[in-house]
Amino acid sequence: MSDNPVETSKNAFTPRTELWREPYRAFFGFGSLYALGFFVLWGLQLRAWALGVDPPAPGLGIAQHAHIVIWGIVGAYVFGFALTAYPKQNDGPSLPKRLLQGLWALFVTAQAGLVAAWIFGFGSLLTPALLLETAAYVLLFSYLAPMGIRQIGQRLWVQALGVLVALATGIIALVLHGFGPPTLQWAAVHLALWNYLLFLIASFVYRLLPFFTSRVCDYEMNRGRFFLPVLWVLLLAKTLVVPAGSELASRAIDAAAFAWCFAEWVRYAPGLGVRVPMVSVLHLGWCWVMGALALGAINPGILQIHMLTVGGVVGFLMAISTRVSLGHGGRPIVLGKAAIAAIVLVQFATLARVLAPTLLPDVNAYQLYHVSAHLLALAFLIWVIRFGPILVLAKIPPKKECPV
């Protein structure tokens, strides 16, 4: 036995700062704090509108709100997951620590500038912030693109290229939204929602759901060979017909996209996956995405968009960020009470935003909307309290890397 009282066993946990050990740590941390602050302010603004009084800050327009959510909050999770998972999945090099810190600083500085310009009235910061934000996305794409291109002809090359196509589309939409004429702003938002966010989530689901299910259930991975290419064509068609005002065509495309996504989902044996809580929450996020497509086939509009963004995108990203944080942090990959509470709150936020206006038509819509925003803020608060320490002071994972 050692006489040194400080000596510990090899298996002992000695806390130390590991924020930059893997890309997801800093980006998930920022994204969760960004979401928490943003949804608190957005909820207060919506409540002020409901009461007919001035909001506590100058306030956001709807287009500005969409920009921060799509390229800011969700973007932070996209950066964190893509920089962590994509190199592992495609045999690429890890991003050096200094470059990671620089990219993170670039992205965060851009978001700070946008918040200062749009919420607090410092309009002179807007153009520099948009340029920095665009530069961050271009650098992300430039880092990942060679890895994906090298995968052409390999087993999952379609998924690798799908991520790149989604990111490239997101950059195009970002440039159109930030620098294009006002007449193109909503076309850019639709391009980002369907051909960037939905297609990116679909690319993640295509790779991860069969893999995770096969790890915990008696299931042989089964993926549709043409799922992603056909889905891309359908979503592009939707993006083109929505600005043209062809509601009938939009409904038909949504119905076809829903049927296509549902048929692919059946391949992933959801009946097996939902028995495992950590896998079931990923299925839940994808179900909201499919639900948005189904709703679009019946009643396209803003409720469909919020079902996609709140239930689908936020729900899926919170679930996958929970899994990544636990697995890479050396913790058992098991949903705890805090994670369950956060994910349940996201479901209630989605219902408050999507179903409540229909079920309670006589209630001021902004009253319902601010409840949804504050439920999201509470969900992210719980997530930050539970997973913030894991991101910053984490166990060293075992030598065998956690699959992503």
**Model confidence at 161: pLDDT above 50:** yes
d(CA 312, CA 249): 23
Mean pLDDT in residue range 88-113: 95
The residue that leads in pLDDT, 161 or 48, is 161
Rounded to a whole number of angstroms, the CA Rg of the chain reads: 21
Give the DSSP H or E segment for 325.
helix 315-328
Which amino acid type is present at position 34?
Y
pTM value is 0.90
Give how far the C-alpha of residue 379 lies from the chain's centroid of Cα atoms, to the nearest Å.
Answer: 15
The pLDDT score that the predictor gives to residue 12 is 45
Q: Residue 15's pLDDT band (boundaries 50, 70, 90)?
A: low
The pLDDT score that the predictor gives to residue 34 is 98
For the chain, give the mean pLDDT: 88
Q: Provide, rounded to the nearest whole percent, the portion of the chain with pLDDT above 90.
A: 63
CATH of domain 23-392: 1.20.210.10
Tens digit of each residue's pLDDT (9 = 90 or more) over 256-272: 999 999 999 999 999 99
Mean pLDDT in residue range 56-85: 90
Mean pLDDT in residue range 28-35: 97
Tens digit of each residue's pLDDT (9 = 90 or more) over 122-159: 999 999 999 999 999 999 999 999 999 998 888 878 89
Evaluate whether 403 touches 326 at the Cβ level (below 8 Å).
no
The pLDDT score that the predictor gives to residue 3 is 46
Domain ranges (residues) in the chain: 23-392
